[in-house]
Amino acid sequence: MHPKKIHACCGPECCVVPFSLSVLRNLHGSPSRLSHVFLTGYKLNRPIGDATACILIQFRDMFLYLLGLVVFYYLYRWFREIPRVPDKGDKYVYITGCDSGFGNLLARHLDELGFCVIASCFTEKGEEDLRKACSDRFTTLHLDVKKNESVDKAAALIKDKVGARGLWAVVNNAGVAIPSAPCDWLTIDDYKSMLDVNLNGVIAVTLSVLPLIKKARGRVVNVASVFGRISPVGGPYTVSKYGVEAFNDSLRRNMAPFGVKVLCIEPGFFKTTVTDSVVLGKSIKQLWEKMPQQVRDDYGPDYLDKVDVMMREKLAKMSDTDLMKVVSCMEHAISAVRPRTRYSPGWDAKLFWIPMSYMPTRFADWLLLKEAILPAKAVN
């Protein structure tokens, strides 16, 4: 005999649901009852109502439809982002902060891809190492982004180098992470010293070569951070990155009529000098020693030791060692025909920091303070 069917009607349209009564009886009590209901429409723990059956099927169909849309979107985006710009050998890319880390790797990578790279370094050793490792197309120059005369001199050299074709891209990568500490440990000079590099340096370098970028209808790539979205620590680092985000957004809208693309890189934690626990620990110790005694009493004599342990244990685990995740995003921003507006390399950025930046402020504060090291005189 054919199994009986239950006809479930919802609203004006009627959907036929092929429920076998024998299946209902045999599978009653199965531990996979809920998943079976979701996938097939069967409700196994009690006789199913017509309306409930139809709702379950509609919910299942809606979920599969949304899943299909998500898959289609990512496939479409992947195919759309594949094409690269032609004639790489005629395109000049100016990168700051190439002594080490992301800038150093990006300079080498773009040179291998055939771009004409102009890499700026703060040290002579950084310039020498890159010249030895790269092709004849490669150019190095000294740059101190804190000094206007150094920025202007570099821009003049680049103008002579690129000629009438203009500059295809500038990558503002130079940055520092110290001094970083609770706000009441610092002075205004501590803030100024970092802002001069991380924010004012980005603006100065960009403005110095912007006419060349406009001539080539090229790109400006600004390296910010997930800490330009949310501020879990004190000090000038997050302030500078929020500033880079604001400059990036305003510049992107200003340059759009000229065909210039302005892109932002927002990395999570990666193992570079910026996240070096030894360097950060040494800086924090220096700040502690020059602080007023009253502030040290507020935090307690063992606070510094707790911070040191936390940085050595947690920072190393949080920092991703694969720097090419960031470099690949930078390269895509420079070479893709249709680059993204923002890139957030690192799983911690995608799954934790960026989502947290959209959460209610009260919840984000609670979550961050729950794991924080509290001062000795913290109020309960």
Q: Which residues are catalytic?
A: 237
Annotate 293-310 with b (16+ C-beta within 10 A) or e (fewer). Answer: eeebebbbeebbeebeee
- The CA distance from 121 to 142, in Å, is 5
Q: Computed over its alpha carbons, how large is the radius of gyration of the chain?
A: 28
Task: Tell me how far CA of residue 377 lies from CA of 95, 129, 144, 288, 311, in angstroms.
Answer: 46, 50, 42, 17, 22
With a CB cutoff of 8 Å and minimum separation 6, the contacts of 255 are 213, 214, 220, 261, 262
Residue written as tokens 């891809």? 113
8 A C-beta contact, residue 139 and residue 118: yes
- The CA distance from 200 to 205, in Å, is 9
Instruction: For 206-339, list the strands marked E by DSSP.
Output: 219-223, 261-265
DSSP string computed for 154-219? HHHHHHHHHGGG---EEEE------S-S-GGG--HHHHHHHHHHHTHHHHHHHHHHHHHHHHHT-E
Paired strand residues for 120: 141
Helix/strand/coil (H/E/C) assignment for every residue in 19-37:
CCHHHHHHHCCCCCHHHHH
- Which of 269, 267, 268 has its CA nearest to residue 319? 269
Burial classification of residue 117, based on how many CB atoms lie within 10 Å of its CB (0-12 exposed, 13-18 middle, 19 or more buried): buried
Sign of CA dihedral 194, 200, 206, 209: negative
Give the chain's length.
Answer: 380
Backbone phi, psi, residue 88, to 5°: -60, -30
Rounding to the nearest 10 degrees, give the CA dihedral for residues 156, 162, 166, 170.
-70
- Which of 191, 93, 174 has its CA nearest to residue 126? 174
